[in-house]
Amino acid sequence: MDIRANLAIIPDPRIERCKKHLLTDILLLCIIAMTCGVESVETITFFGITHIQWLKQYLALPNGIPSADTILRVLARIDHTKFEECFHNWTRGYFRERVQPGSNIAIDGKTVRGSATESGRGIHLVSAWANELGLVLGQVKTAEKSNEITAIPQLLAALDIAGCIVTIDAMGCQKQIASDIKQGKGGYVLSLKENHPETYAEVTALFPEESLPEAEYTEVAKDHGRIEKREAWLYRDTAWFEGREGWAGLKAFGCIRSSRTVKEKTTVEYRYFLTSLADAAQFARSVRAHWGIENKLHWTLDVAFREDYARNRKDHSAANLAVLRKITLNLIRLEPTEKYGKQKFSLGRKRLYASYNPEFLLKILLNL
């Protein structure tokens, strides 16, 4: 579905007689400017003024470019839940057309540190990441990190997870979340830690570190002078587990042993999981894929979009700007061009190239 059509259905919080700029113009201006590497609202206005003739070909702009104060007021007042719903609607159609069975959807939270105030911490956002497609599928804002337990079901309800494998860290290792995933016809790999002390003790006892058998699946990776060996085991007998009926679709308990060697020094880490998967290779790949949300989403938002430096705090502004960044990130990732001549097109270079090449910018925006 065209995201512009979605933007048009977002309720406009402004008084009718005070509307000098169309809501869709304001939001699309933000997206276009961010695509070109702009980060602050003040710079979005400057970008609009310096590109107004080009922008008028695609936006109405009946009263020119809105001021930074106008943009901030609008972003602060738009209901972030409606904007998140608009984002979900856009990504859902694109994702379902291209997703392959068994694809990974990673769910994890991130705090926007720059939005913190003297009286409270920054907003916390729970996002869903489609690893194979490299796209953000959705976002839900939660006031506190502990509320990820309530935010994750909201996010799952907005996603189409049928046939996919959902991976979540220990905060989301909850019976209700496992049930929600199975109701959505998806599979799951849930990280198990000490927040479930009895279950954790029982599961770790299944995989004695000193006497583990040969791994069912092994993968070795070499990168930047580091050698990492990842081994996977599944314990498929769940009949003994007294709480099994509470964990919908539970088929196995999993263990991953990661051995990292750097400069002849080796460290070993064991991680444990509850999963609806019975294939060790698929389980191991899903665990590995989960890190994509950290490396390709959260890291990118912090480094390329400088999200943690954004100090927008008023009302809904921080959450709405986070949605705009994710829309922009998706648009840039959807552009398949990887090289221009001999130069590799990284995300940063795409944004730079779009800033002074209108044809390339338009090519990216056509994905809207």
Q: Is the pLDDT of residue 114 over 80?
A: no
Tokens read off for 300: 């990118």
- Contact call for residues 191 and 211 (beta carbons, < 8 A): no
Residue entry with tokens 């738009």: 78
Q: Where are the alpha helices (DSSP H) in 106-191?
A: 148-158, 175-183
What integer is the mean pLDDT of 53-58?
Answer: 95
pLDDT attached to residue 56: 96
User: Which residues lie across from 234 on neighbouring strands?
Assistant: 254
Q: Where are the alpha helices (DSSP H) in the chain?
A: 3-8, 23-35, 41-50, 52-55, 68-77, 80-98, 148-158, 175-183, 197-205, 280-289, 292, 299-303, 317-334, 347-356, 358-365
pLDDT attached to residue 240: 94
pLDDT attached to residue 69: 95
Residue entry with tokens 């720059």: 114
pLDDT attached to residue 18: 82
Q: Is the pLDDT of residue 73 over 80?
A: yes
Provide the mean pLDDT of the chain. Answer: 91
pTM over cut 0.85: yes
Tokens read off for 259: 């051995």
pLDDT digits (tens, 9 = 90+) for 187-209: 999 999 998 999 999 999 999 99
What integer is the mean pLDDT of 147-174?
Answer: 94
pLDDT digits (tens, 9 = 90+) for 213-260: 999 999 998 877 789 999 999 999 999 998 889 999 999 999 999 999
